[in-house]
Amino acid sequence: MTRYVAVELTIPDNEAFTVARVLQRLGVAAVRVERAAIYERDDEGDPNALVERIARDEAIVNPNKHRVRLLDGGEPAAGEAWIEERSSLPDPRRPRFIAWRLFDDAGRPLARDRVREAVERLLCNPAIERAIIG
């Protein structure tokens, strides 16, 4: 079965911090931004073994700064956009998507229209990328 696994930083994410500040300057009310690499893999009948395989892959995960999490489904959560680079040559070491999760000043996920605005203004280059909004 196809599963989606997120690889997230456990240390401060300077790229996500910068994106939050730029979005604020662009008028998008994202106070906090989180970023994750989303991998799409066949779980070969064992989702826990899939997570362990990815966690042991040193090309993907540094255990000193990453955590691996099995996602419930194959689509973005509320306040989240998944950005997929359009490429004719898939690389198994590269993530399928980069997930950006945006939060308001109360810590709630941003509304869908605000996420769409962030995607259009900064997060996605439609010439080479495709966005999926949760």
Nearest partner of 61 among 83, 40, 85, 37, judged by Cα: 37
What is the spatial distance between Cα 59 and Cα 80, in angstroms, rounded to a whole number? 25
What is the third-level CATH fold of 2-133? Mth169; Chain: A , (3.30.1280)
DSSP three-state, residue 52? helix
What is the spatial distance between Cα 92 and Cα 79, in angstroms, rounded to a whole number? 27
What are the boundaries of each domain within the chain?
2-133
- Say if pTM beats, i.e. exceeds, 0.85: yes
In tens, the pLDDT along 10-61 reads 999 999 999 999 999 999 999 999 999 999 999 999 999 999 999 999 999 9
How big is the chain, counted in residues?
134
